[in-house]
């Protein structure tokens, strides 16, 4: 009976052993399934540095399991020597044979796992050693145009860089300060201030609650005086570096728009603008980019944004109250998502290291997958900080959905994380039941859909974010509360292929 109990215990414990190991986001990520459903098949991560083996934790687990197998073998030998179990007891002999067979199979599996783990550790160690020899190594992007994602070699980045990022979602504005010398000021705005000037929403989130900076030309307009006035905001100080690259998003929509200028302020003087735009009239957000060299950056400096307006107000003869028919103040300029890198703009990667590229018939995108569980807002902000052109993924076709599913299924770590679903940029925060892709140049209504049956259902009236939710149904979509934590996918929209001579544009 003891042997039967031991066999059942082994079979219960030993159902499957399915480890996976990958190097992602600077961490060793592995999952181990031990047959106890709901207990042992969860993802585990271990922080990894250049001085530690990526999968040492897996190797330790294998060593411990080997020791357990040896102990169990010893127990069986003791069992065989007892009076109750011998060669003349056919039923009990069969039980022992089955147990020994199971043990041999497990030992064989463990040996294979040990070899795979050792090979993976050696490969990762070689990459780390190569990285140490290459000063600019910060990762290798992966790209694929096929249904099954594959890794490809890319040109390494030649310079370490550090980025500072501000989304103006917090009231402190990341330490950006108003200039007391300017006649106007920058204000924090949410959503659509007016249909005639300014953005429809912020660039970071694309939702009614997302914030941005803007100059309110009505508040700063002069009575009867079309005089140029400005609003100036100054960044914290940046330390010397051979080069800097500044990327930011701006909106210049309105018939009375004037100028947006960017300065690199050294000492107390602004000097001439290093970047300027005038008379813009686009409803969508646009990205600005400017690189500056050692003439500015060899000393501490500040980045300064200046918006100018010649808006003015007039009073009708019959009354002294404000009337929109008697003013010229449609010149709001907005600013959001400012990133400053201490490297050249040309050194910045087009796609985040470790991302996957998809080339479609009329578009190109790269995607980075994040296994850490965060709120929807945090995921959107993290994507912006990762790359100036990044946002939570927007899925516009079945081909794109299938591509993402294949990437997830190709990685044990992503498969384990995907049990909780992946956040996309989709939400119906603006209009209930009307889902949009947000956080890009302009929010767009969703046309392609892949909802799971019965979704979206807005349980409790609080489910407004779109999740790739159902792994057993190839990650069909569902709506969830935006303040629940899930992994997320970032997407960078790339320019289309370069125009070839002799073809139509």
Going by pLDDT thresholds of 50, 70 and 90, the confidence category of residue 155 is very low
Residue closest to 230 by CA, chosen among 308, 334, 335, 305: 308
Are the C-beta atoms of 309 and 220 separated by less than 8 Å?
yes
Question: Tens digit of pLDDT for each residue in 124-139?
Answer: 555 555 544 443 333 3
In angstroms, the CA 31 to CA 44 distance is 6
DSSP of 213-225: EEE-HHHHPEES-
The vertex-351 CA angle with 132 and 54, nearest 5°, equals: 40
- Indicate if the pLDDT at residue 156 is higher than 50: no
Starting at the earlier edge strand, list the strands of the sheet with 312-313. Answer: 222-223, 312-313, 327-328
- Indicate if the pLDDT at residue 56 is higher than 70: no
Could you tell me which residue, 121 or 434, shows the higher pLDDT? 434
Residue closest to 230 by CA, chosen among 193, 199, 263: 263
Omega into 133 within 30° of 0, i.e. cis?
no
pLDDT at 81: 62
What average pLDDT is seen over the chain?
Answer: 77
Q: How many CB atoms lie within 10 A of CB 174?
A: 14
CATH 3.10.100.10 domain residues, the chain: 356-494
Are the C-beta atoms of 231 and 220 separated by less than 8 Å?
yes
DSSP of 83-134: TTSSTT-HHHHHHHHHHHHHHHHHHHHHHHHHHHHHHHHHHHHHHHHHHHHS
Question: Tens digit of pLDDT for each residue in 283-293?
Answer: 999 999 999 99
Average pLDDT for 165-187: 90
- Indicate if the pLDDT at residue 245 is higher than 90: yes
Going by pLDDT thresholds of 50, 70 and 90, the confidence category of residue 302 is very high
In angstroms, the CA 290 to CA 294 distance is 14
- Indicate if the pLDDT at residue 298 is higher than 60: yes
| Total-model pTM | 0.68
Fold of 356-494: Mannose-Binding Protein A; Chain A (3.10.100)
Average pLDDT for 28-46: 40
pLDDT at 59: 55
Question: Tens digit of pLDDT for each residue in 426-461?
Answer: 999 999 999 999 999 999 999 999 999 999 999 999
Range scoring the smallest mean pLDDT among 183-187, 387-391, 453-457 = 183-187
Average pLDDT for 335-360: 94
| Best CATH choice for the domain 163-347 from the list 2.60.120.200, 3.30.9.10, 3.40.1080.10, 3.40.190.80 | 2.60.120.200
- Indicate if the pLDDT at residue 328 is higher than 60: yes
Question: Tens digit of pLDDT for each residue in 263-275?
Answer: 999 998 899 999 9
CATH 2.60.120.200 domain residues, the chain: 163-347
Strand partners, 266: 269
Instruction: Count Cβ atoms within 10 A of the Cβ of residue 488 and give its class: 0-12 exposed, 13-18 middle, 19 or more buried.
Output: buried
Residue closest to 215 by CA, chosen among 296, 301, 331, 127: 331
Block residue for tokens 């897996």: 58
pLDDT at 222: 67
Measured torsion, CA atoms of residues 76, 80, 83, 86, in degrees rounded to the nearest 10:
140
Strand partners, 135: none
């Amino acid at each position: 009976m003891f042997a039967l109990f031991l066999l059942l215990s082994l079979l219960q414990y030993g159902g499957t052993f399915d480890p996976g190991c990958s190097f992602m986001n600077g961490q060793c990520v592995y999952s181990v399934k031990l047959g106890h459903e709901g207990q042992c098949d969860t993802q585990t991560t271990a922080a990894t540095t250049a001085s530690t083996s990526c999968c040492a934790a897996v190797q330790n687990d294998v060593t411990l399991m080997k020791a357990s197998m040896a102990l169990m073998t010893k127990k069986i030998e003791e069992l065989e020597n007892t009076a109750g179990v011998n060669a003349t007891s056919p039923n009990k002999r069969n039980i022992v044979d089955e147990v020994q067979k199971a043990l041999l199979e497990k030992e064989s599996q463990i040996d294979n796992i040990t070899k795979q783990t050792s090979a993976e550790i050696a490969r990762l160690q070689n990459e780390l050693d190569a990285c140490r020899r290459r000063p600019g190594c910060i990762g290798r992007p992966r790209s694929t145009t096929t249904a099954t994602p594959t890794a490809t070699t890319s040109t390494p980045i030649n310079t370490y860089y550090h980025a500072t990022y501000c989304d103006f979602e917090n009231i402190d504005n990341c330490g950006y300060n108003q200039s007391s010398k300017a006649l106007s000021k920058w204000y924090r705005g949410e959503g659509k201030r007016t249909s005639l000037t300014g953005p429809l929403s912020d660039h970071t989130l694309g939702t009614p609650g997302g914030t941005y900076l803007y100059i309110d030309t009505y508040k700063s307009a002069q009575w009867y005086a079309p005089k140029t006035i400005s609003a100036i905001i100054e960044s914290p100080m940046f330390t010397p570096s051979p080069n800097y690259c500044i990327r930011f998003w701006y909106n210049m929509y309105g018939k009375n728009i004037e100028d947006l200028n960017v300065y690199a302020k050294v000492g107390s003087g602004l000097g001439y603008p290093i970047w300027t735009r005038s008379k813009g009239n686009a409803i969508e957000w646009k990205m600005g980019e400017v690189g500056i060299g050692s003439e500015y950056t060899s000393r501490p400096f500040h980045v300064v944004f200046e918006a100018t307006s010649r808006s003015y107000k007039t009073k009708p003869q019959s009354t002294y109250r404000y009337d929109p028919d008697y003013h010229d103040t449609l010149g709001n300029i907005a600013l959001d998502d400012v990133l400053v890198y201490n490297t050249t703009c040309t050194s910045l990667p087009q796609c985040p290291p470790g991302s996957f590229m998809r080339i479609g018939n009329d578009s190109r995108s790269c995607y980075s997958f994040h296994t850490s569980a965060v709120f929807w807002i945090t995921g959107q902000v993290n994507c912006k900080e990762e790359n100036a052109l990044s946002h939570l993924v927007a899925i516009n076709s079945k081909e794109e959905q299938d591509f993402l599913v294949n990437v997830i299924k190709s990685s044990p770590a992503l498969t384990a994380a995907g049990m909780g679903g992946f956040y996309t940029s989709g939400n119906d925060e603006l209009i209930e039941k009307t889902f949009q892709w947000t956080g890009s140049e302009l929010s767009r209504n969703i046309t392609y859909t892949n909802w799971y049956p019965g979704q979206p259902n807005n349980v409790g009236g609080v489910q407004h974010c779109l999740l790739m939710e159902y792994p057993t149904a190839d990650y069909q979509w569902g709506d969830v509360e935006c303040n629940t934590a899930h992994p997320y996918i970032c997407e960078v929209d790339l320019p289309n292929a370069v125009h070839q001579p002799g073809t139509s544009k």
